[in-house]
Amino acid sequence: MADKIFRVNMTDLTAKVEDVPEAWMGLGGRGLTSTVVAAEVDPTCNPLGSKNKLVFAPGLLSGTTAANSGRLSCGGKSPLTGTIKEANAGGTSAQLLARLGIKALIIEGQPKGDKWYNLHVTEDGVTINEETETLGMGNFKVVETINERLGAKTGVITIGPAGEMKMLAANISVKDPDNHIRSNGRGGLGAVMGSKKIKFISVEPTMNKVEIADPEAFKTANRTFAKALVDNPITQALAQYGTNVLVNIINEAGGLPTKNFTQGQFAGHEAISGETMHDTIVARGGKPKHNCHPGCVINCSQVYADMQGGYRTSGFEYETIWAFGADCCIDNLDQVAEADNILDDLGLDSIEIPVAFAVAMEAGVLEFGDGAEVIRILREEIGKGTPLGRIIGCGAGSVGRTYGITRVPVVKNQAIPAYDPRAIKGIGITYATSTMGADHTMGYTIATNVLGVGGSLDPLSKEGQVELSRNLQIATAAIDSTGMCLFIAFAALDDATCLPALIDLINARFGIGLVADDVTNLGKTILKTEHEFNLKAGFTNLDDRLPEFFKEEPIAPHNVVWDISDEAIDSFWDF
Amino acid sequence: MADKIFRVNMTDLTAKVEDVPEAWMGLGGRGLTSTVVAAEVDPTCNPLGSKNKLVFAPGLLSGTTAANSGRLSCGGKSPLTGTIKEANAGGTSAQLLARLGIKALIIEGQPKGDKWYNLHVTEDGVTINEETETLGMGNFKVVETINERLGAKTGVITIGPAGEMKMLAANISVKDPDNHIRSNGRGGLGAVMGSKKIKFISVEPTMNKVEIADPEAFKTANRTFAKALVDNPITQALAQYGTNVLVNIINEAGGLPTKNFTQGQFAGHEAISGETMHDTIVARGGKPKHNCHPGCVINCSQVYADMQGGYRTSGFEYETIWAFGADCCIDNLDQVAEADNILDDLGLDSIEIPVAFAVAMEAGVLEFGDGAEVIRILREEIGKGTPLGRIIGCGAGSVGRTYGITRVPVVKNQAIPAYDPRAIKGIGITYATSTMGADHTMGYTIATNVLGVGGSLDPLSKEGQVELSRNLQIATAAIDSTGMCLFIAFAALDDATCLPALIDLINARFGIGLVADDVTNLGKTILKTEHEFNLKAGFTNLDDRLPEFFKEEPIAPHNVVWDISDEAIDSFWDF
């Protein structure tokens, strides 16, 4: 049976099932969410108003046995950035939705009254149910409650209290295979879900299989593809130390933003490094390897245990550890893990929030390094929606504006992640030009600037950085459409067998004949669609700029400033 | 002696006196501040950073005996709106600065450390002095302290605690003839002054006189001009009831925004009307008439007394009374007066703050109508810089973003004033297109839409509103350059002797030969200079829009929505 579009209207509380328009047939994941948003959402609309839409789409390969294909894309107009937005996450829902034959779930409108709802998705459609029991609950309790109510195999897409309160850093959480939380993290899409008064979406478990046009070719390609992934040395490092392998690497490169981006190295880096984390997990009996979605062969996630060996957090990522660790100067991995766990439960972006804390520290709201106070504020202020909690819960830009701080590391109001653009210039191009505000995952130049993947390019030189970012942003837009985890990029860039195998997988799934250029063109089209939306929303090239202080304050140890010209940045869009 | 530019650099704490460039000779007030800002400030700079400048300029006629010529313009890039900004106020400083031979005082740079300063202005230049005593003081106490320190005739331009805390609704206060406070109210220029760590500017009293090229012609013109003002019926109504004469008029017109812009009439309007205010002042022994600057012949200000006949507030304006009264539903003039007095003392925009309170009421932070809680929040939260205080102190947009509210009446992040654009459409064009964010004073179409001044144009019709707003915005830009109070416009529009007399005054002052077209062209040039700055700052025509809810929610009693097309709005700039 052909895939369908499931459409829910929250204004009149109706749902329907539609055929997939011809033009959307070849799209999935980010390619589809961005196309739907660009086609159906008024770019000038209020992101928390009735005209915005929330679009979920599994990737082109989601639901199949293809390795690492279980990412769920979620798109809409971001209330944090005002741009188009896509965020993707692992968990079990992408594969369930794909197996139920759902190409995209489009949620539009907004209920008038105070009632809250849940959506239940089956292969026949969506039912809209009034929801009361889980209101105010943290994500872990929501998952537990739905498991009891509907069975443990049910897919869960939910918002925590932060999304209910429409905090601009609220994310959307997806249940993972172990009932933990994966996050469509960035851009405040949880607030959009909250604005539509949907507490959670449950997805019926299914034994359905996705139709494969050429099962043999698919199997062969998948074997090659998975081998390329597991053989790759970066992938292997990710498996051993998680993404947090990067703390020591980026610190060594002098690009680890520290103390609200005043330094490029953190004296306490050893205490929070991937190596320390790994040893701690092993010593306490946690899980050093863990997958965020079934079918992942990389296993970069882990379960971090507390001193008694109990669960403290999982999916404990470099970005979060950097932000609470180096940027807030908290050299205590247990405190950072506890903070991460609270963010998972409240449903908040674990980059935006700690970067916001560092700005609050600069404002004197609390001291740099005060992990205990961070945890108190997370629980008592953000969790309860106090004024201070809302200020921080609305992100780094919010803290900066409210306290009159000028050193606020954001682009398009979204917090800059864990790589200082002065010391690693390629990533600055990505921050500036990304269609979604500052976001390293949009074009991860760290690969080539620091890790030597896909060649090598001096991070301190201005030369070639625009081209690097452009090529990676194009490739990323395509990968984000497949349902694949972005970490396949390391193998794709360095192993000649990987990308052809990925294309073979798509061709075998749909019985088509894409070639490499088609994939590149798909990426270009997605970027241009997103960029066009932003222009129609009122953005100009003047928004593609880093904050003033990066140009004025040299950062140690390299004592460099951000010195790539505006003209060079603007040439990004020459393709 | 020719007028000079006084320039202060707060980075290296130096001051100098410069000749006035040829191109700035014919400019004063807003025309000069906007020209200086456009020429010298990077439009993309952070408004609270070292690249912004703060420019004070008396008007072309300030310092003379011309009636109503004592307004002081202050300009810079606004931290609230991100646009160019000019705000003007009465008080005694404009005339003193003009008599000291100061064409403009330009303050640039930013000190690095934590020290605060005051500036003392004499005819020889500016001295920069470290300041400690007045830090944290409210404006009334600052004025008292400077009067003691430097003598009661000293001009005072100061920021209150709000400006020190860089709240985005912080204004700049100017001492009036009775040691009360007049405000350069809108756009957060007080935060810019705070960002430069200047607590106050004192202006030396002087017996100097401004040179008049043709004293006889000046005297004759001034007689005609003053007569036109005092003979005008609107001016007379302003003298009797203050600007608050408008409560009943705008309520009757169905355009009095009530309960956060959900209704166009306020049931409690009688309790807060100009008539009630007048009777209360008379009964309690306050002053029903009062001037905000020496030389004013209108006297629309007043001193509102408390029940014991003591000072409660002065310059008690319609906008403030509307915003706390109708928009926050507080039908208690004593509470509104107390709130106004606190805003004067803290140094906050008395439009932005009450509109922000109404949004906070919609968010459930406090109840509509709860005047006592408003007063408590003003004193205990905003005055002390608590998180809630800062959220509200940063304006209506800040409250909306922090609490996820979509009904936020702002344009370019500045609160919409006391006239609902759905019911009085001309003013909506002004809100949308003003170079400074929503601001009724930029092109006061109420004159023609409601008061029958300058002709009559149906406020509910779409026809002619763009032209009306355009003509008034052009005229206003010119008037704002003369040092004249905008209330001369009523006579200028309806009394054929008024405008020629004003032009004669300028000609007699400088020995030049301007004609009416020159004045119109000055107004056009100023608007275009300001608009160009905003375009270079990243604004587009998409920013010239009213919030979504005005298009979607009809307002009683006329049950009308905002229905002027985007194309019509954009045609504003066709001149």
What are the tens digits of pLDDT across the range B155-191? 999 999 999 999 999 999 999 999 999 999 999 999 9
Closest CA–CA distance from residue B394 to any residue of chain A (Å): 6
**Residue B1's pLDDT band (cuts 50, 70, 90):** low
Please give, rounded to a whole number of angstroms, the shortest distance from the CA of A395 to a CA of chain B: 10
Domains and CATH numbers, chain A: 4-203 (3.60.9.10), 212-237+423-575 (1.10.599.10), 242-420 (1.10.569.10)
Cα separation, B172 vs B79, in Å, equals 14
Mean pLDDT of B90-103: 97
Give the ipTM of the model, two decimals please: 0.96
Provide the sign of the torsion angle of the four alpha carbons A223, A229, A233, A238, taken in this order: negative
**Which residue of B50, B394, B399, B402 to mutate against A (max A Cβ within 10 Å)?**
B402
- Report the residue of chain A nearest B542, measured CA to CA: A538
pLDDT value of position B290 = 87
Count of Cβ atoms closer than 10 Å to residue A139 Cβ: 29
Q: How many other C-beta atoms lie within 10 A of the C-beta of residue B573?
A: 13
Distance from CA of A48 to the nearest CA of B (A): 7
> Inter-chain contact B51–A404, Cβ cutoff 8 Å?
no
Going by pLDDT thresholds of 50, 70 and 90, the confidence category of residue A292 is confident
Distance between CA atoms of residues B293 and B312, nearest Å:
19
Q: Do A401 and B387 touch (CB under 8 A)?
A: no
Q: What is the pLDDT of residues B465-491, one digit of tens each?
A: 999 999 999 999 999 999 999 999 999
CA count, 13 A, side-chain hemisphere, B286: 27
Closest-CA distance of chain A to residue B390, Å: 6
Q: What is chain B's mean pLDDT, rounded?
A: 97
Q: Hey, are the CB atoms on A46 and B548 less than 8 Å from each other?
A: yes
pLDDT in tens, A181-234: 999 999 999 999 999 999 999 999 999 999 999 999 999 999 999 999 999 999
Q: Which amino acid does the sequence have at A443? A: G
Q: What is the pLDDT of residues A254-285, one digit of tens each?
A: 999 999 999 999 999 999 999 999 999 999 99
* A458, pLDDT greater than 90: yes
The strand pair at A72-77 and A54-58 is best described as antiparallel
Q: Which of B384, B390, B401, B534 to mutate to test the interface with A (most CBs of A within 10 A)?
A: B401
Whether B49 sits inside 8 A of A406 (CB atoms) is yes
Q: Which position has the token pair 């400030």?
A: B41
Query: What pLDDT score does B218 carry?
Result: 98
B198, amino acid identity: I
Q: Do B402 and A401 touch (CB under 8 A)?
A: no
Contact B46 A386 (CB under 8 A): no
The residue ranking higher by pLDDT, B146 or B237, is B146
How far B348 CA sits from the closest chain A CA (Å)? 15
B260-270 average pLDDT score? 98
Contact criterion met (CB < 8 Å) for A49 and B406: yes
Token pair 């900004």: residue: B85
Q: Which residues on A lie below 8 Å from B397 (Cβ)? A: none
The proportion of chain A whose per-residue pLDDT surpasses 70, expressed as a percent, equals 100
Residue B421's contacts (CB-CB under 8 Å, 6 or more residues apart) are B427, B428, B431, B546, B550, B562
3-state secondary structure of A234: helix
Q: Do A538 and B537 touch (CB under 8 A)?
A: no
Average pLDDT over residues A341-354: 98
Chain B residue numbers touching A569 (CB-CB < 8 A):
none
| Mean pLDDT, range B508-520, rounded to an integer | 96
Q: Cα distance from A465 to chain B (closest Cα, Å)?
A: 24
* Amino acid B162: pLDDT: 98
Given a cut of 70, is residue A1 above it in pLDDT? no
Q: Do B538 and A542 touch (CB under 8 A)?
A: yes
CB contact under 8 A, B403 and A390: yes
A82: chain B residues, CB-CB within 8 Å: none
Are A403 and B51 in contact (CB < 8 Å)? no
B34 has a pLDDT exceeding 70? yes
pLDDT in tens, B356-405: 999 999 999 999 999 999 999 999 999 999 999 999 999 999 999 999 99
**Residue B292 has what pLDDT?**
87
Of A165, A403, A548, the CB nearest to B404: A165
β pairing state of B14-19 and B4-9: antiparallel
User: Angle formed by the axes of helices A516-536 and A29-40, to 10°?
Assistant: 30
Mean pLDDT of B12-36: 97
When pLDDT is cut at 50, 70 and 90, the band that residue B294 belongs to is: confident
Average pLDDT, chain A: 97
- Confidence check: pLDDT of A241 > 80: yes
Q: Which two tokens stand for residue A439?
A: 């976001």
Mean pLDDT of B232-252: 94
CA-wise closest residue to A87 among A182, A200, A202, A5: A182
Q: What is the pTM of this model?
A: 0.97
Which residue in B51, B167, B402 is closest to A398 by CB distance? B402
Return the pLDDT at A2: 84
Out of A168, A194, A387, the one facing B388 most closely (by C-beta) is A387
Using CB atoms within 10 Å of the CB of residue A187, give its burial: 0 to 12 exposed, 13 to 18 middle, 19+ buried. Answer: buried
CB–CB contacts below 8 A, A to B: 83
Sort out which chain A residues have CB atoms less than 8 A from B394's CB and list them.
Answer: 401-402
Instruction: Say whether B46 and A548 touch across the interface (CB within 8 A).
Output: yes
Which residues neighbour A340 within 8 Å (Cβ) at sequence distance 6 or greater? A313, A316, A320, A321, A324, A350
Rounded to 5°, the CA angle B138-B142-B143 comes to 120
Instruction: State how far residue B379 is from chain A, nearest Cα, in angstroms.
Output: 16
| Residue of chain A minimizing CA distance to B547 | A46
pLDDT above 90 for B2: no
Give the pLDDT confidence of B419-448 residue by residue, as tens digits. Answer: 999 999 999 999 999 999 999 999 999 999
Q: Which of A391, A403, A547 sits opposite B402 (nearest CB)?
A: A391
Q: Compute the half-sphere exposure of residue B338: CA atoms within 13 Å on the CB side of its CA.
A: 15
Please answer yes or no on whether B195 and A404 come within 8 Å at the CB atom: yes
Buried b (16+ CB within 10 A) or exposed e, B25-40: ebbbbbbbbbbbbbee
Apex A342 CA angle, A160 and A77, nearest 5: 40
Query: Mind telling me how many Å the CA of B357 is from chain A's nearest CA?
Result: 14
Residue whose C-alpha is closest to residue B42's, from B77, B7, B2: B77
**Does the beta-carbon distance from A548 to B49 stay under 8 Å?**
yes
Backbone angles phi, psi at A85, to 5 degrees: -145, 135
d(CA A169, CA A162): 8
Cβ-Cβ contacts under 8 Å, B48 against chain A: 404, 406
Residue B353 has pLDDT above 80, yes or no: yes
User: How far is it, in rounded angstroms, from Cα A123 to Cα B527?
Assistant: 59
Lowest mean pLDDT among A393-407, A451-465, A550-564, B286-300: B286-300
Which residues of chain A have a Cβ shorter than 8 Å from any chain B Cβ? 44-46, 48-49, 51, 79, 165-168, 191, 194-195, 386-388, 390-391, 394, 398, 401-404, 406, 536-538, 540, 542-543, 545, 547-549
Chain A residues close to B545, C-beta within 8 Å: 44
CA of A170 vs chain B CAs: smallest distance (Å): 11
Burial B457-483 (b: 16+ CB within 10 A, else e): bebeeeebbbebbbbbbbbbbbbbbbb
Q: Select from B165, B542, B548 the Cβ nearest to the Cβ of A404.
A: B165
Residues of B with CB under 8 A from a CB of A: 44-46, 48-49, 51, 79, 165-168, 191, 194-195, 386-388, 390-391, 394, 398, 401-404, 406, 536-538, 540, 542-543, 545, 547-548
